[in-house]
A and B are shown apart, each in its own frame.
Chain A
């Protein structure tokens, strides 16, 4: 059976709304995706019937809440091919996951002269945490270059993977350009030298089937809200041995086995990293998002999204004055572009008046913008609920932008 986008759209209540008097065209899912009713219902139902604190009470609600929370962990583990649910650490999102690894795993393992290798494509959240570690330890940040199309130069990456490289952190899919990086090869190169790798999967999990064991990385970070789940919840996956050798993150309840003023014994993985009452409803919602995606057949979703992105690329490229930024061979979800003589913010405002939501700005990836000598782009990003008709609305909107600016 082929992919039925109209049926999928009916699962997302927000798509019924109008903006500026016109049906909403939501092309900003790379910033945050919309939520299917199944996710909203799961969270509502959890709060309505089963809420209590987890891992604490002997009473019925606490048992149900714990089962819901740990059940979500098991779903996430299956979703990314983790060896066990213990390898899933719930965090606030990709940003917290990367900071956790930077501070609790990498910081104690690097010193002056050591290097942490990233790429030029990274989101600020996969740059700044490493800059902070470098400031704290005297380590240096090395950056693998990208070419004009927005592909990482494997040559430069291999050259910068040197004898002092202690850790590699890479985006799986670029948020600003949509490039799917050749992470299998990059991980292989790092592991040959005994260097651990973290992948920022925030833009990958909504579009690709991810199998962390097949990838061979050490850590994988992603956010719930970009994969149709709620905000405020995300996942750090780590290979069990990596998580076990990682120190604690925040201190508090839940992450301890016993506390006395003589000393505290930390809890086992993953509780060691989950101090305080977690976002239980968020985890439940994210578990529901996983269920929702799995019943859709991810291979069909990926095929549909690829075709839609190719179609949008062709149609937008035809608009006079448009220049695409990021034309890598393998891309997912993102179409970034500039319009000659028109600032992306003006494009964004005019499109909004046509009911079309796009992102205009530097996409928290200023080094990528600097690489192309621009301050900002307009970014249309696509998800499972977008259609060819919406692409046509975008193209009409861009023609309207030109009309207004050309008077």
Chain B
């Protein structure tokens, strides 16, 4: 495939000007994610009310794919129910880890479909999924706290 299909305009745009970049104030859930292989690292901050993600931010440094994926993720999950967010992660994960020859549908994942080209580049799947794994860790942290409170 043409490498431009991986580095689509929407990905370059989000990597240059990441949305929701920064931190959330005290009380926010947070988790850190790192890819020890390449040194990419990011922190995801979440403000959850009931079962809804009210606000989400991230900060850190990484390649264009991981930064754009984190940025697109924050846009996609803000205002979403936690259960719907986890469902979206599953669909997104299925798309980026599918074999290039597989038929896939990106209908359910909206703008995240811009990252579908990653499946042609197995070494970069971790870049695309780092923010999501970190988000899930932040959500798990919430349930941990809920259970101990």
Interface residues of A (CB under 8 A from B): 341-346, 349-350, 353, 360-362, 366, 369, 375-376, 404-405, 407
Q: B residues 9-38 with Cβ under 8 Å of A? A: 9, 12, 16, 37-38
For the complex of A and B, 9 pairs with smallest distance between CB atoms: A343-B63, A375-B39, A345-B63, A353-B3, A346-B64, A361-B38, A346-B63, A362-B39, A376-B39
| Residue of A with least CB distance to B123 | A349
| Residue of B with least CB distance to A361 | B38
B122 to chain A, nearest CB (A): 11
Can you report 16 A-B residue pairs in the complex whose CB atoms are below 8 A from each other? A342-B64, A343-B62, A345-B40, A345-B63, A346-B63, A346-B64, A349-B6, A349-B121, A349-B123, A350-B3, A353-B3, A361-B37, A361-B39, A375-B39, A404-B7, A407-B12
Q: Are B63 and A369 in contact (CB under 8 A)?
A: no
Q: Please, which residues of chain A bring their CB within 8 A of the CB of B63?
A: 343-346
Q: Please, which residues of chain A bring their CB within 8 A of the CB of B145?
A: none
Q: Are B6 and A366 in contact (CB under 8 A)?
A: no
Q: Please, which residues of chain B bring their CB within 8 A of the CB of A376?
A: 38-39
Residue from the list A346, A353, A369 in contact with B39, Cβ < 8 A: A369
| Residue of A with least CB distance to B40 | A375
Q: Please, which residues of chain A bring their CB within 8 A of the CB of B127?
A: 345
Q: In the complex, A341 Cα to B7 Cα: how many Å?
A: 14
B79 to chain A, nearest CB (A): 30
Q: Are B3 and A349 in contact (CB under 8 A)?
A: yes
Q: In the complex, A40 Cα to B13 Cα: how many Å?
A: 48
How would residues 36 to 49 of chain B score, 1 for a CB under 8 Å from any chain A CB and 0 otherwise?
A: 01111100000000
Q: Please, which residues of chain B bring their CB within 8 A of the CB of A366?
A: 39
Q: Please, which residues of chain B bring their CB within 8 A of the CB of A407?
A: 9, 12
Residue from the list B2, B9, B38, B121 in contact with A362, Cβ < 8 A: B38
Q: Does B105 contact A (CB under 8 A)?
A: no
A362 to chain B, nearest CB (A): 5
Q: B residues 98-149 with Cβ under 8 Å of A? A: 121, 123-124, 127
| Residue of A with least CB distance to B1 | A353
Q: Please, which residues of chain B bring their CB within 8 A of the CB of A343?
A: 62-64
Q: In the complex, A69 Cα to B61 Cα: how many Å?
A: 49
| Residue of B with least CB distance to A375 | B39
Q: In the complex, A65 Cα to B6 Cα: how many Å?
A: 51
Q: Are A345 and B12 in contact (CB under 8 A)?
A: no
Q: Does B88 contact A (CB under 8 A)?
A: no
Q: B residues 72-95 with Cβ under 8 Å of A? A: none
Q: Please, which residues of chain B bring their CB within 8 A of the CB of A375?
A: 38-41, 61
Q: Are A404 and B4 in contact (CB under 8 A)?
A: yes
Q: Are B62 and A350 in contact (CB under 8 A)?
A: no
A378 to chain B, nearest CB (A): 11
Q: Does B56 contact A (CB under 8 A)?
A: no
Q: Does B70 contact A (CB under 8 A)?
A: no
Q: Are B12 and A405 in contact (CB under 8 A)?
A: yes
Q: Are A346 and B65 in contact (CB under 8 A)?
A: yes
A235 to chain B, nearest CB (A): 28
Q: Are A404 and B39 in contact (CB under 8 A)?
A: no
Q: In the complex, A28 Cα to B127 Cα: how many Å?
A: 22
A20 to chain B, nearest CB (A): 9
